[in-house]
Structure 1
Amino acid sequence: MEKGGKDGLVLIRIQKSQKEHWKKICLEKQISLTNLIIDSVENRIMDNERKKVMAFIEKQDNIFVKIETNINQIAKIVNGQKFISENDLQKFSHQLTEILKLKSRQNEVFINICSMLGK
């Protein structure tokens, strides 16, 4: 695709009902008819879907920031007391293991998302 202006024009003939259906889709997705057609033909992720994905990534990042803050608070308490019970240590270790699994899965999802966004 060329950078700069859009000087190409494609005319297609479709039934009026089909055009209205497409316009309804565009209205729901808050995208232009041009973007709907181009993204569909080129098998790219739609702009509205891209925005949803970016919002999801931000939300996930915020969740893990909160978890990391909680881990730091627990470490500070343990360092101050110089003690943690065996039961609390096992619970904490289990939670850290779960977080590692979730983070690993999240990274796999992000890799897939990034490859979709690159299209």
Structure 2
Amino acid sequence: MEKEVRIFIRIQKYRKEKWKKLCLTKKISLTTLIIDSVESRILDDERKTILQFIEKQDNIFRKIENNINQVAKIANGQNFISEKELSYFSIQLNEIANLKVQQNEIFYKIYSLIADDH
């Protein structure tokens, strides 16, 4: 492990206080704020927010997929589904598939950012 060194910088007192307040709200150290900002990294609090978003999205899609399965089970139990209901159901399935593709592209970009970060 490489030896750490100190860097001294001069800033106005009000700026330092502003940075410290920002760190307090983000629950990170001033050192982390400065290093991550200079090195264009995603801050730890932003990373947590992103991961929470991903988890929430995944839960939403699970609920939707569960509803689709319930509709399919009902249709199979009745051995009948009207043309209108089938058409609507197909449109919804296509929309969900498109949204899932878009979501996966966003997730890929997010994961790439996070991976490049460390």
TM above 0.5, yes or no, is yes
Equivalent in 14, 32, 36 of residue 35 of structure 1: 32
Aligned to 1:96: 93
Aligned to 1:81: 78
Measured against aligned partners, the alpha-carbon deviations of 1:5-42 in whole angstroms (never above 9, x if no partner) come to x6332222222122112112112222110110110011
Q: How does 1:13-92 map to 2 (within 5 A)?
A: 13-92=10-89
Unpaired runs of 5+ in structure 2? none
Q: How does 1:100-119 map to 2 (within 5 A)?
A: 100-118=97-115, 119=117
- State the SS of the aligned residue for 1:110: helix
- State the SS of the aligned residue for 1:80: helix
* Percent identity of equivalent pairs: 62
TM-score calculated relative to the size of structure 2? 0.91
Of structures 1 and 2, the one with the larger relative CO (CA 8 A, separation 6+) is 1
Supply the AA of the counterpart residue of 1:21: K
- Kindly report the root-mean-square deviation, in angstroms, between the aligned alpha carbons of the 2 structures: 1.4
Q: How big is the shift at 1:65?
A: 0.5
Task: Judge which range, 15-24 or 33-42, deviates more.
Answer: 15-24
TM-score calculated relative to the size of structure 1? 0.90
Supply the AA of the counterpart residue of 2:20: K
